[in-house]
Amino acid sequence: MENLTGKVAIVTGSSRGIGRGIAERLGQDGATVVVNYSGSEQEAKQVVEAIESKGGKSVAIQASVSKVEDIRRLFAETIRHFGQLDILVNNADIAIGGAIADVTEDDYDKVFNLNVRGVLFALQEAAKHMSNGGRIVNISSTTTIQPEAGMAVYAASKAAIKLFTAVMAREVGDRGITVNTVMPGPTIPGMFGNMPTEVQQQAAASSPFNRVGTPQDIADVVAFLVSEEARWLTGQDICANGGAKM
């Protein structure tokens, strides 16, 4: 299915994990995909090659989404390369765990600089450059609705994204642009893959499907949200966790 032919998409943090899955799926659906990465150049090139090997079009652009000047350069280079922007998936993030009693200022700054400031200013650039009828998907987390000890800073940063979604949806709706949030549950490969085996097993058992998610599971949800068929969905928070902890 190539329902995104002629569309240009930016997927932040798309050199691995969920971001890679999303980038490859959008490329499969016909979009020209900008694979954004911060430091994983070789992995980003592999994603580009994977998209192009299936007949798609893609380019890798380095930019640290925690830096506003890099965000602006990412969008400027996209417009310069392709002349338009139709889809933005804000996926890049960082997770630092720890009890509130142990959180450092550095922990807070690292998480909020990327997960919150990065998304905010990427949305700002999208508001300036996105074509009418565009699609924005912000990747949040089920930790915002299923609080876990030791995840306060990460979950708070992801909760801010959901508020950005609701506000942005109202601000750009008159241009036919939809803005939605996807909240993945535990997903492997991804950050959850670094968790102890017993934690992964518990997460799998909490879903009626008896497994954790895959990047493809999340990518398929995103692919629907950026399609024409999802034109009547905006300002929504979509829980994509395989029914875990319903």
- Give the residue numbers marked as catalytic: 154
Q: Is 10 helix (H, G, I), strand (E, B) or coil?
A: strand
By DSSP bridging, strand 135-139 and strand 32-37 are unpaired
Q: State the residue for tokens 């085996």.
A: 197
CA distance 238 to 225: 10
Nearest to 87 by CA among 227, 182, 201, 213: 227
Nearest to 222 by CA among 43, 63, 86, 91: 91
